[in-house]
Each structure stands twice: as structure tokens, then as C-alpha cells.
Amino acid sequence: MKKLTKLFVSLLAVFAFASASFAADAAKTPKMEAYAHPTMFGSQSQQTSDADASYIVGAKIYKSKNQIGVQNKDQVIIDSWVKDVMSLIKDQQPFANGQVFNPKMPVLRSELAVILAEGFNLTNKSASKSYSDISSDYWAKDWIYGALNGGVMIGYPDNKFRPDQPVTKAEVFATVAQLISVATDRSLIVPDFNGKEIKYIPRWAIAPTKEVVASKLLDSVPNPDKVNNDEYLSKEQVAYLVGALRQDWAYKNSVGKSGAAASKNYTPTVLNIKLEDRLSARQSNVGDKFSAKTTKDVTIGGQCFKAGSLVKGEVVEVVRPGVKNPGYLKVKFTQIKDGDLCVDFPKNISQAQADMIKNPNFIARLFGFPLSGAGRVVGVVGRSAGSIVNVAGNGIEQFGDNLSNVFVDTLSLKPVAGVKNVGNAAVTLGKGIFDVCKVIVSGAFGIVYEVTDEVRYLIVPKYSNASSLNPGEELSIIY
């Protein structure tokens, strides 16, 4: 009997340990949102699990570091760069007493230096002037001196940099205004942003604030209400602001000040490519590889690659389209190759712009139509059937537990609990029927949606281009 008791206690201990381990693993596992097809219920296949750019698609997790964004063709997104910078600060910055990195908190002077130095390639790390509060092993020392030598930040007269001091919104605007040139009036009226007055702007900061607002750079910054109402911008908001200016310098140069120190350091490379594969938010998955050919000579890493060089890429994020949602792709370009000459692309590629859209010829579309159309319909049916089986299986399991509890509670002389479980069983049955009907309706809609989209691509392919990259299209990649 004692042996059986010891065995039982041991099994309980093992079970408790396994349960705790499972709970810990479950806590670390990102929640994945499954999808059956483009749907009226708005589900999609992709979810970003953390700021380190782990993308989840089709139950596969991929890590992506060198990313570019292609969203709805020519609408450039900068959030990949922002995520990289936030991840860099999080990884480099030491935390004590249980503190954690929060990108929503006010930006510190040290963090602003990192964002500016990373944004404008300010790599001059020599200390032309030392500061008493910047030690030789301070985590942001190299970025701080890069920003100082680049002329985008200055220290204080008491020989201190004050790296852990929060930077006010007005100070951020004044810093950015040094690097842009936008005509504004000379009135001392605080400007509106999104139709509301910007608060916490002192008299000395009105002029730079007006210039930043007029530049439209703030349009890329998240949480516009906080831009208006808070005294400080968050780390994330400042990164978006700098990222918008970085991309403007790289591509349009519409607001950059001539001769600005940072702009001299930021000399983007333009890579012109023509795609050889079709990528679509409807069919492509994270990890899909594709290739392109350069259309002009380009120098990368000190090596000259002739026109016609092979460029390799990979899909890193997919948002499926649905009703009033065109979806989008995010891709990265990994490598350029010309014979034996091969170079990997740098970590951050700032943007991609579709310069010329060429539709595949009608004959090619006509021959591809029955195959792609049939494949997409079968895919919808298969995924819908799988979803129904999953819903039914979970429902039957829960329904069985409810019925079991009815008998257990009743025979344990707990009639109220037994009646309650009868109600739970009815609710489980009703919810299961509702979920199955929802999948069926969504599946029917998905079939109509896919067939309609295939017909549209066959007849007027330009209307299907918002969430796809097609063979023959030319992209200009700026980094």
C-alpha cells in the first residue's frame, strides 16, 4: 500500500511539473490566427508575433531581418525599419530592477541618438568632445557620438549629454526641423495637426513645429491623438518620424534641407529590377522564394553588378485580401549575383516603388485561368472542410464533457450543478452549429470571391495588381 501511495504521489509530481512546463511553453507560443480563404468575416493568415519580426503563416515561423515593404504597390511602409530599430534598442539597452523595454514610453536622449544615427547612417564614432556622463562602456556611446558628429544633436554646456533624460515633443520637432526645409508663415500661432491644436509647444518651438507639420512627415506617425495631446513622443513615434524623413531623402527629397549634415551621410543606392515571378497576397506564403533581374548597372558593397544580374528574394509577410481589404505582401531581397560575383544585401532596405506595371499577355492569362481558378476553388473547399472537422471535433469533445458532468453532478447529489451542465451542453451544441454554418457561408463566399477574382484578372488584370507583384513589373529598390 505504501509503495502504491509513493507511486501515486510521484505521478502527481510528474503531472504537476509537466503541466507547469506546458503552461510555460504555451505562454511563449505566439497565438496564430488561422484562415480558410479570403472571407467576409475578416480573418487572415498572418500575424506578427513580436517586435523581432517573427511572422506566422501556415503554421510556420520564420525570422526576417533584412526587409523591405511593398504594401498596395506604391504605398511604402516604414514599419519594418522601425521594428528593427526598436529591437536594436531593446537588445542593447541594459535594464535593472525588473524594468522592461516599452516602445510606447517617452524617448530618451540616448535612444533618440540611436534612432538618428541608424536612420541617417551616422557612423563617425570618434569623440571630438567627451562628456562626463558618457562612459567608455556606455551602451549607446557609438550612436551618441555618431549623432553629435553628424550635427543632429548637441550636448549641454555643463559638459553633460544627459542620455537618460526624456526628450520633449518640442525638442524632437526642433531636431527634425534642422534637417528639413519647408516654407511656412511667420505667425506665432501653434499649428493644427489632423484638425486639432498641438499642445505643449512653447513659443521657441512654434516655428520648427510648423515646419514639421507642413512637411507631412507626421502623417506616418502612429497615434495622432497622442501627438496632439502628450508632452512627449514615444520611442516608436520618433522612429516613425525619422523613418519617414529617411525615406523622403532616399526617394523624393521633397523636404530635405540642402547641405544638412545627416543628408550628406545618407547616400542611398538605387537598385532597378524586373520581376520574373508572380507573387500574390492571395496565394503566396511566408518563405516563398522569387527572383528578378537588374535592368541597370549598380554598385553594391564596392562591387559593380551589370544589368541582367540575378536578384534573389523571399516573402516575409502576407496579409490575405478580403472584402474592402486588398491585402498586401512584404518581401525582402537577400542577394545579388553576377556569375561568381555574389553579395548579400544589407540589413535594412528602406523602400520599394513600382515604377512600371506591365500586365501579362492575354494568351498567358487565358491558359493559366482554368488551372489557377480550379486550384483556388479546391483550396477553399479543402480548407473549409478542414475547418468544419476541427470545429465539429472540438464541439463534440466539449459536448461530451458537459453530458458527463450532468451525470456526475446529479449522482453526487448536486442537482443544481447538473441542471446547469444541461444548459452548458445546449449552449455548446448551439455554438457548434453556428460555427459550422459560419464556415459554410464563408466557404461559399470564398468560392464566389476566388472565381470572380480570376475572371477579373483574366479580363482586366490591372485591377488585381493592388496586392500582387507580377512578372515583367519593374521595381526601384532604395536603400
Distance CA 61, CA 286 (A): 9
Q: Which amino acid is at 63?
A: K
For residues 356 and 374, the model is more confident at 374
Q: What is the mean pLDDT of residues 122-149?
A: 87
Name the range with the highest mean pLDDT among 31-35, 284-288, 324-328: 284-288
For residue 301, pLDDT beyond 90: no
- Name the H helices within 93-133: 109-119
Query: What pLDDT, on the 0 to 100 scale, is given for residue 174?
Result: 94
Closest by Cα among 278, 234, 187 to 86: 234
Whose CA is closest to 300, among 444, 451, 479, 129? 479
Backbone φ, ψ for residue 343 (5° rounding): -135, 135
Say what the alpha-carbon torsion angle 268, 272, 278, 283 is, to the nearest 10 degrees.
0
Question: SS3 for 142-188, per residue?
Answer: HHHHHHHHCCCCCCCCCCCCCCCCECEHHHHHHHHHCCECCCCCCCC
Q: What is the pLDDT of residue 133?
A: 93
Least Cα distance to 275 among 298, 294, 300 occurs for 294
pTM score of the predicted model: 0.57
Best CA proximity match to 351, nearest among 336, 331, 334:
331
pLDDT score, position 322: 60
Q: In which band, very low, low, confident or very high, does the pLDDT at 328 lie, cut at 50, 70 and 90?
A: low
Residues 301 and 261 sit within 8 Å (Cβ to Cβ): no
Q: Which residue has the higher pLDDT, 283 or 37?
A: 283
Q: Kindly give the residue spans of alpha helices, DSSP state H, lying in 191-234.
A: 206-214, 224-229
Report the pLDDT value the prediction gives residue 150, as an integer from 0 to 100: 87
pLDDT at 410: 84
User: Would you state the pLDDT for residue 80?
Assistant: 67
- Average confidence (pLDDT) over 322-351: 70
pLDDT at 373 over 70: yes
pLDDT of res. 205: 93
| pLDDT number for residue 462 | 60
- Categorize the per-residue pLDDT at 31 as very low, low, confident or very high, splitting at 50, 70 and 90: very low
Per-chain mean pLDDT for the chain: 75
Band (175; pLDDT cuts 50, 70, 90) = very high
User: Tens of pLDDT along 1-13?
Assistant: 445 454 444 434 4
Q: Please give the residue that has the higher pLDDT: either 408 or 241.
A: 241
Q: Indicate the angle between helix axes 169-177 and 109-119, nearest 10 degrees.
A: 30
C-alpha cell at 381: 473547399
Is-contact 279 68, C-beta < 8 A? no
φ, ψ for residue 197, nearest 5 deg: -70, 140
Q: Is the pLDDT of residue 298 over 70?
A: yes
pLDDT digit string (tens) for 124-134?
777 777 899 99
| pLDDT tens-place string over residues 200-216 | 999 999 999 999 999 99
Q: How confident is the model at residue 23 (pLDDT cuts 50, 70, 90)?
A: very low
Choose among 69, 116, 154, 60: nearest CA to 354: 69
Lowest mean pLDDT among 90-94, 195-199, 268-272, 311-315: 268-272
Of 429 and 230, the one with more pLDDT: 230
- 43 pLDDT more than 60: no
Cell of 15: 503531472
Query: Rounded to an integer, what distance in angstroms lies between the CA atom of residue 304 and that of residue 299?
Result: 4
What is the pLDDT at residue 134? 93
On whether the CB atoms of residues 253 and 260 are closer than 8 A, the answer is no
Please state, in angstroms and rounded to a whole number, the distance separating the CA atoms of residues 360 and 387: 35
Domain ranges of the chain: 79-265, 362-466
Give the whole-angstrom CA distance, residue 225 versus residue 222.
Answer: 9
Is pLDDT of 228 > 90?
Answer: yes
pLDDT of 478 = 62
